[in-house]
Structure 1
Amino acid sequence: MPSPRKPYTSNAVVEILEILWQQTRTGHGLSTRQIHDQLKSSLGEFAPAIRTIRNQLKTLDGSSFLGREIHKLDPKNSEDDASEMNGATDPQPGWRMSTFFDSAEARLLSDSLALSRIANDAMGDMVSRLNELVGGITLSNDYLTTTNARDQFNGEFLSTIRRLNDAISDNRAVTFHYMNYNEDGQLEPRTSASGAAPREYHVDPYQMVFKNGRYYLICALHGNEEARRIFCVDRITDIAISNDLFHPPKSRFDAIEYMRERPYPVTDDAVDIVMAARPTAFNYIFEWFDEPIITPEKNGVYKVTVKAPIKAAYWWALQYADAQVEIKKPPELRQQLKKAGVILAVKYKFTGTNHAAQQHHADQETA
């Protein structure tokens, strides 16, 4: 009686794809022997012969799996392969899947999660899935946690984003309640004018964007394109997609451009803001305003023109009051800043004059 044949897996394509996905990347491959050794480690006696693996890899050569190209790196016989490996941090010939995200792209995506207002366990799950998606890239993102120190998270945050995304795609209005912080740092519903019940908002959602580390919904009150509103997505609760359709804004709405013109999320129209500034203030200007126009004037002073709502420019000017910047136009903004200066001087009992100005100038020169 013939001895029974040893069972083995003649087709291990799925296992081979898994190894390539998890352990290879652009410029870094595995030899057929290395792949065979790993299959033997995981499948034991059911592992296919190395000849079978070699034939299956040749069949896969040049194909793509979920957007990642499969190819054998051979730098001795291919200039393209040699160039690819020269650009890798840890080059290694052999079979590889091309990179889905490179390390910089993947790291940027994972770090951006820290800006969101989601609980740490939910973020941990998302980071783990991202790490699985990028495959053979090692990301040093185990440290990731939310950058916001508060433990008060809106458990509806992700479902809110999902519903808003669906509503934006289908041009449907939404209704929701909006939360405010109380004196204990707890979120509670914003009430109606009478204070008897939570206020319900009925809005036409245009887009969601990040700004200054916060995630905002840009929208308009339903049926009134001129009544623009901006809400923090993490403070939206009880959201529901309405049956009411809305028409997109008459002029093409660019959410990114809209927020770039607003150093702070306010819905007032952007106007020309003209200021006089020294180079020590350029960092503050370029980090907060989109496309400032700068022209040199006398004595090392520059004329700077930006577009922003007056209220946003007012807050910015107060924030950087100790920078070498003076708002020149519009007059309305100058008047508001003068009033704020008087209020602050009275409130904090300011009595210094020339000495304070001289000290401020010295501080700016050494900054």
Structure 2
Amino acid sequence: METRQPKKMIPSMILEILRTHTDENHTMDQKEILDILNQEFDPPLDRKTVRRNIEYLVDMGIPVSYTETPRSNGTTVWTDFYLAREFTESELRLLIDGLLFSNHLPYKRCLELIEKLESLSSEHFKSHVKHIKTIPDNEINNKQIFYTIEILDEAISDEKQVTFHYVNYGTDKKPHPKLGKDGKPLDYIINPYQMAAKDGKYYLICNYDDYDEISNYRIDRITDIKILDKKRKPFSKLKDSNGERFNLADYMKTHINMYSTGDTRVRFMIVPRMVTDIIDIFGKDVRFEEETKDYVTVSALVTEGAMLQFAKAYSPDVVILEPQRMVDEMKDWAKKVKKIYG
């Protein structure tokens, strides 16, 4: 009877068996591997063939793990074979959870990516994604997001400008490009510096070329993107850069909610139960200056727009104390609210 598979395929077939059926908690011995191989070979292979080809995989640098037991005759027995994985199951579950609860990807696309992540482990890995659904199902209409990210990554690496159209949603729940004075979609010319994820959304941190301030744009609202030949404006030339290179960690600490206004030292008062929330939102660089049983005084470097929005959202548990211009703005807002509901 003829061999159904050429013997030169044996190493790749063993590797596929280990990839599909094994992990650190599920191992195989030579006989189990041989039984699967012999479904494709006639005359059948023997255990020495399995051992020899596994040794070949190990010599090639393939991460095949095994237990080596010495015999009394000086030889060794290899058992408990499994393919060592680059990601642990807990790491894969963490990545899958991040996809499931993201707001910037369509749910169907999340499932496609989850299938790819699952393939990085064995058949024994169970993510239970069939029983999980994002609520609400915020599927965006922009199908270009992965292409947009790819183009932005290339432009940032090559330090090139990009141009694109930017959309907002109308009452018809459909995206509409922002229009210029001529009634046509406005061409944004942008100096891109970094992409960042915040609250389940992707943002482009950049500079709109007509100005010298930092801007943030939602990547899922970018369409028709193109790389330009012109070099981008150096970040150190922007007004808020203090002549330094872009530092994403520092930027994210001060730009809660991705507002792109300038940074300001703000003092505000909170109720004691909000201390944990403040650290979660502002990070550990905040200063707690005074504490009583009724309130805690906080000092933080933050963008004005983000801080005003934060104070409005958590009023009256958050009260801005300084600077005065922000106090006055909160008073004006409070009067408007009182008038509306009065």
Per the shorter chain, which TM-score range?
0.7 to 0.9
SS of structure 2 residue aligned to 1:45: coil
Percent of aligned positions that are identical: 24
Residues 311-356 of structure 1 show CA distances to partners (whole Å, capped at 9, x for unaligned) of 1101001111143x3222121221111111111111111xxxxxxx
- Out of 32, 35, 38, the residue aligned to residue 34 of structure 1 is 32
Partner of 2:260: 267
Q: In structure 2, how many angstroms separate the alpha carbons of the residues matched to 1:310 and 1:181?
A: 25
Structure 1 residues 71, 188: closer, same or farther in 2, change over 3 A? same
Q: In structure 1, how many angstroms separate the alpha carbons of the residues matched to 2:5 and 2:186?
A: 66
Q: In structure 1, how many angstroms separate the alpha carbons of the residues matched to 2:22 and 2:4?
A: 29
Partner of 1:284: 277
SS of structure 2 residue aligned to 1:264: helix
Residues 161-204 of structure 1 show CA distances to partners (whole Å, capped at 9, x for unaligned) of 11111111111100000001011110011111x26111110001
Residues 288-327 of structure 1 show CA distances to partners (whole Å, capped at 9, x for unaligned) of 212222244344532222221111101001111143x322
Identify the range of structure 1 (214-223 vs 55-64) with the bigger mean alpha-carbon deviation.
55-64
SS of structure 2 residue aligned to 1:184: coil
The normalised TM-score by structure 2 is 0.85
Q: In structure 1, how many angstroms separate the alpha carbons of the residues matched to 2:93 and 2:155?
A: 30
Q: In structure 1, how many angstroms separate the alpha carbons of the residues matched to 2:16 and 2:4?
A: 22
- Out of 197, 213, 216, the residue aligned to residue 184 of structure 2 is 197
Structure 1 stretches lacking a partner, 5+ long: 78-92, 350-367
Residues 28-74 of structure 1 show CA distances to partners (whole Å, capped at 9, x for unaligned) of 42211221222234x25365322210222233346533xxx212035
Contact 1:8 1:48 in 2 (8 A): no
Over the aligned positions, Cα root-mean-square deviation in angstroms equals: 2.5
Deviation at 1:155, TM superposition (A): 1.4
Q: In structure 1, how many angstroms separate the alpha carbons of the residues matched to 2:131 and 2:324?
A: 49
Contact 2:165 2:188 in 1 (8 A): yes
Partner of 1:133: 120
Q: How many residues align?
A: 323
Structure 2 stretches lacking a partner, 5+ long: 71-78, 237-243
Identify the range of structure 1 (250-259 vs 305-314) with the bigger mean alpha-carbon deviation.
250-259
Structure 1 residues 143, 279: closer, same or farther in 2, change over 3 A? same
Confirm or deny that 1:183 pairs with 2:177. no
Structure 1 residues 47, 165: closer, same or farther in 2, change over 3 A? farther
Deviation at 1:111, TM superposition (A): 2.4
Confirm or deny that 1:294 pairs with 2:253. no
Deviation at 1:218, TM superposition (A): 0.7
Partner of 1:52: 49
SS of structure 2 residue aligned to 1:282: helix
Q: In structure 2, how many angstroms separate the alpha carbons of the residues matched to 1:260 and 1:186?
A: 33
Residues 189-223 of structure 1 show CA distances to partners (whole Å, capped at 9, x for unaligned) of 1111x261111100011111111111111110237
Structure 1 residues 143, 277: closer, same or farther in 2, change over 3 A? same
Partner of 1:212: 199
SS of structure 1 residue aligned to 2:262: coil
- Out of 334, 337, 341, the residue aligned to residue 344 of structure 1 is 337
Confirm or deny that 1:173 pairs with 2:161. yes
Alignment of 1:1-367 (within 5 A): 9-11=6-8, 12-41=10-39, 43=40, 45=42, 48-61=45-58, 64-65=61-62, 69-73=63-67, 94-114=80-100, 115-135=102-122, 137-143=125-131, 149-192=137-180, 194=181, 196-222=183-209, 226-250=212-236, 251-291=244-284, 292-299=286-293, 301-323=295-317, 325-349=318-342
Structure 1 residues 48, 116: closer, same or farther in 2, change over 3 A? farther
Residues 213-250 of structure 1 show CA distances to partners (whole Å, capped at 9, x for unaligned) of 111111102375x2321111011001111111125322
Q: In structure 2, how many angstroms separate the alpha carbons of the residues matched to 1:181 and 1:5?
A: 65
SS of structure 1 residue aligned to 2:104: coil
